[in-house]
Amino acid sequence: AQSVTQLGSHVSVSEGALVLLRCNYSSSVPPYLFWYVQYPNQGLQLLLKYTTGATLVKGINGFEAEFKKSETSFHLTKPSAHMSDAAEYFCAVRHSGYSTLTFGKGTMLLVSP
Amino acid sequence: EPEVTQTPSHQVTQMGQEVILRCVPISNHLYFYWYRQILGQKVEFLVSFYNNEISEKSEIFDDQFSVERPDGSNFTLKIRSTKLEDSAMYFCASSEKALYNEQFFGPGTRLTVL
């Protein structure tokens, strides 16, 4: 069975600093990988996804993630944090042939001035 | 921009009562999903629905749960006899196609069972 681990329930950065949110997955077959963001009182919004092809994926709001098969990782990064990036971020995996998503526990990103 | 909507935003109920959570998926989407997140835990898949029948369901989705698309726009999740452990945020999602399309999520309904 697939699973997703997000290291750190909370990550704090200063405005302008690098954002790094970690995600590792367990899977016996190549997965599809996703990052979602949830702002307060809103639904989950897709930031980016990896299906096939280029392992470095660019998403909305300046975020990107790199699929590293050897490390079973799909970490989310952004070079310079903005106050508006403060939200909860969820990593998710979906296996080929299945439509359901398996989520991590989420990481709350806190951005200080 | 089209979006998934859910009502109510917060539902409080007594243990043993039936609740119905409502969702309006994006109009041209064909696949519908319910997920839930117990406070402090992962978002968990409950059920997927296509062509008026359940296509996949998790172990959580037992006989206490049911889903329905009563008309052309609504998608509902019913819990027949709520338990304390059903307290969670319930998310509805929809997608145009099943396997390769993004799932669009609603804002969630927070269910509190007392």
With 0-12 / 13-18 / 19 or more C-beta atoms within 10 angstroms meaning exposed / middle / buried, residue A56 is: exposed
How many angstroms separate the CA of residue A15 from the nearest CA in chain B?
26
The pLDDT value recorded for residue A52 is 81
Chain B residue closest to A39 (CA)?
B107
- Cβ atoms of B35 and B90 within 8 Å: the answer is yes
Q: Output the CA torsion sign for B57, B62, B63, B69.
A: negative
Residue type (1 letter), A113: P
* Regions of chain B with pLDDT less than 50: none
Q: Is residue A79 pLDDT above 70, yes or no?
A: yes
- Per-residue pLDDT at A96: 64
Residues 6+ apart with CB under 8 A from A11: A19, A20, A21, A107, A108, A109, A110
In chain A, residues with a C-beta closer than 8 Å to the C-beta of B55 are: 99
Q: What pLDDT is stored for residue A42 in this prediction?
A: 79
Q: How far is B53 from chain A (nearest CA, A)?
A: 15
> Of the candidates B48, B104, B106, which has its C-beta nearest A99's C-beta?
B48
Q: What is the tens place of the pLDDT at every residue in A23-74?
A: 999 876 768 899 999 888 778 899 999 988 888 999 999 999 999 988 999 9
Using DSSP, state whether A69 is helix, strand or coil: helix
Do B113 and B13 contact (CB within 8 A), yes or no?
yes
Q: What is the DSSP letter of B30?
A: -
Q: How far apart are CA B74 and CA A16, in angstroms?
A: 43
Q: What is the pLDDT of residue A28?
A: 67
- Give the pLDDT confidence score for residue A51 in this predicted structure: 85
Structure tokens at A101: 């998503």
Token reading at B45: 């898949």
CB A91 within 8 A of CB A2: no
Q: What is the pLDDT of residue B100?
A: 61
Contacts of B46 (CB under 8 A, 6+ apart): B33, B34, B35, B36, B57, B58, B60, B61, B65, B77
Give percent above pLDDT 90 in chain B: 72
More confident of the two residues A8 and A96: A8
Opening angle at CA B32, ends A57 and B60, nearest 5: 95
The residue type found at A7 is L
Q: What is the pLDDT of chain B when averaged over all its residues?
A: 92
